[in-house]
Amino acid sequence: MNEDPERRGRMCFACGEKNERGLHMQFRREGERAVCDYTPCAYQQGYPGRMHGGVVATLIDEAMGWAVYHAAAWAATARLSVRFRRPVQIDVPLRIEAWVTRDRSRLIELRAEVRDASGALLAEGDGAFMTLDARFADELSGLAVEVGREDAPPVSGAS
């Protein structure tokens, strides 16, 4: 593993800006929701002109991860269910939103939606994220701070 914290902390396939092959998703917080505006491109195609379903599922999973992060927790996907409602077209702007529906301490339940610019629901998902053990969460918080994240969930005992 590359030990350069600047690179290591920015290699996520979905949101890492240092990952040449990644999706480069950028999230912001709007109220209790994690939101990303995203436009699919040709190399993400499944059927001609349509985004690959696995990439759509990745958009949903990543949005849920950011909703957990904005809720000040470190957690990883434990369960993910995706429903595809309409084709997701290539080169058409999307809005991806996710939010926590229930926080049960060790298990955080979430919902996410992918909509086009007209507001049509294209895909939706439900998931559950399991909070990470304190040692790994501490490592992630430290790494987030090293790469300049001021909103990183606090390390254990630092609340």
- The predicted-structure confidence for 119-140, as pLDDT tens digits, reads as follows 999 999 999 999 999 898 888 8
Average pLDDT, rounded, for the chain: 90
Rounded Cα distance between 111 and 98, Å, is 6
DSSP bridge partners of 109: 102, 128
**Confidence at residue 9, expressed as pLDDT on a 0 to 100 scale:** 60
Contact 95, 118 (CB under 8 A): no
| All structural domains of the chain with their residue ranges | 5-146
CATH fold label, 5-146? Thiol Ester Dehydrase; Chain A (3.10.129)
CA-based nearest residue to 71, from 112, 99, 95, 111: 99
State how beta strands 33-38 and 94-103 pair: antiparallel
